[in-house]
Copies of this chain bind each other. A is one copy, B any other.
């Protein structure tokens, strides 16, 4: 087992100094052609590669991006990561991942672990618990130390940093408009409690779409789901609520859900109750993922272009790191949404 070879070892072997070796490898004309080729041949033979850690220490930059997301077993987030990774790799950066599991403490710990020199900047999506507690000291500290942050999807407006978001309101309007245009008159909404920012915005979009089409919203058609760490329980509760809603409000002919799972759950219940989809019940979900695509019938959705979000986030961060862009100027990039029409709409 031959350990990694260093400049020093090469120097000793060839009986020259470390600096000569370094210069020779970088093809400095300060070194004679003779020595240069000798060193380069030797280095190639022993498969010399400069030690990244030493370079990082010297250059005060690691060429590594820290990404902190609430969870990875989630189609949206893994898509974003693949976008980040793609762009980062193209520009010679590595990606190091931390998971907060929606927990404030884990988010703080992860940030602290990475902020001590391991990375050059963060891309992150804020944990729900953090949003609830509204404690953002770890973000402020990080930024204060001169480490740039790009927030995506779940952002904190009051923090001065670059952001990449989806136009939740407009996306929802598109979805609801589609339902109305295809003839739905009583559209139910399945959303989350208001403290989840995206839930709130999507609800607003729903309301605005109705108003623009001269339909007065009825709060009796809206279900606000209480999120639960245990998704099983959350969904079970939701099932009961949907079932009750459909029993009570017989006129419902359309459902807009703020995520795939809620939509699928609703669809399952509607089918059980004998509704024909999309003939007398249309469904659209926010967030496009595998579930929607492969559901039977396949679900019409609002796609958030997650990969693009990731790419854009990485671009913004790296541009800032490489000072291609004004350090003090923060931008908020809005990613477009697209309506993907599948089999749950007419």
Contact = CB atoms under 8 A, between A and B. Distances in A.
Interface of A: 1-4, 47, 49-54, 56-57, 62, 64, 71-75, 78-79, 81-82, 85-86, 89, 94-99, 110, 112-118, 141, 144-146, 261, 264, 267-268, 271, 290-291, 294-296
B96 A96 contact: yes
Looking at A1, A50, A261, the one whose CB has the most chain B CB atoms below 10 A away is: A1
Contacts of A47: 141
A146 B3 contact: yes
Nearest to A232: B293
A117 B51 contact: yes
B112 A261 contact: no
A197 B52 CA distance: 35
Given A50-B116, A52-B116, A71-B82, 9 more contacts: A4-B116, A54-B57, A64-B118, A72-B81, A72-B85, A73-B78, A81-B97, A95-B96, A271-B296
Contacts of A54: 57, 117
Shortest 5 CB-CB distances between A and B: which pairs? Answer: A51-B117, A53-B117, A96-B96, A52-B117, A49-B116
Number of copies: 2
Contacts of A114: 94
B96 A94 contact: yes
Nearest to A77: B78
Contacts of A113: 94
A241 B72 CA distance: 34
A137 to B, nearest CB: 11
Nearest to A56: B53
A225 to B, nearest CB: 16
Contacts of A71: 82
Contacts of A52: 116-118
A112 B43 CA distance: 16
A208 to B, nearest CB: 30
A79 B73 CA distance: 6
A267 B296 contact: yes
Contacts of A50: 116
Contacts of A89: 110
